[in-house]
Amino acid sequence: MVDFSLPRAAIESVGGQLSDEQAELLTGYGQGILRASRDMNLVSRRSLGKLDEHFVDSAALLSFADPGQGSFGDLGSGAGLPGIVVAIMRPQASVTLVDSRRSKVVFLKDMKKRLGLENVTVVHGRLEELDGSMQFEMATARALGSTKAVLVPCLRLVAPGGKLVLFKGPRWADEVEQARGIAAQERAEIIRTEAVALPGLDRATTFVEFHVKHLADE
């Protein structure tokens, strides 16, 4: 058996109580990442050694913004963090995992099947190419790249009145003014920022929420 120990208490402290079934699904997902990483470059070697921390970080999104029963897009999903964690913890949400790399799309589809995640859809494509083909009530991007590089294509996949939440680190302060300018050009604005401490870890994740305006709001 692949060794993955779910940090259940830490996840529950930021994302809410887990049922035993959800805990089993999350454990199976973590094992799936480790198993697949033997044969493919799914996540970095450093990330594999801290996989439990990535699960806590993903769950922390839910303490900042919750998709509820709405449509949720994980843009540049990679190994499925945070999208699969959100799909398991919020089964009423309609979760779409988007990635441009075929090998990772194959992995995501395999996890969807193995875990029986009926609320998950996997899309293969570049964000820039998907503009206009889908829009989400809530979307997120985690470890996808610089704000300058990812903000425009991500915002264009958010429905009017919807929100985009970015995972950022301590350097967010250096990007904020540029981000405000880019967002304004896309009929969006930063409405909320919060640093969420990750339990058991000596760090926090800064979540930044952008609101995409309705035409009537302008």
Does the residue 155 lie in any domain?
yes
Does the residue 8 lie in any domain?
no
Domain count, the chain: 1
Residue ranges of alpha helices (H) inside the chain are 8-15, 20-36, 45-49, 51-64, 83-89, 102-115, 127-130, 147-155, 172-185
Does the residue 28 lie in any domain?
no
Does the residue 92 lie in any domain?
yes
Q: What is the CATH number of the domain that holds 149?
A: 3.40.50.150
Does the residue 70 lie in any domain?
yes
Does the residue 150 lie in any domain?
yes
**pLDDT of 25-38, one tens digit each?**
999 999 999 999 88
Does the residue 78 lie in any domain?
yes
Decide if pLDDT at 122 tops 90. yes
Structural domain for 195, as ranges:
60-217
139 in Cβ contact with 73 (< 8 Å)? yes
**pLDDT of 123-167, one tens digit each?**
999 999 998 789 999 999 998 778 888 999 999 999 999 999 999
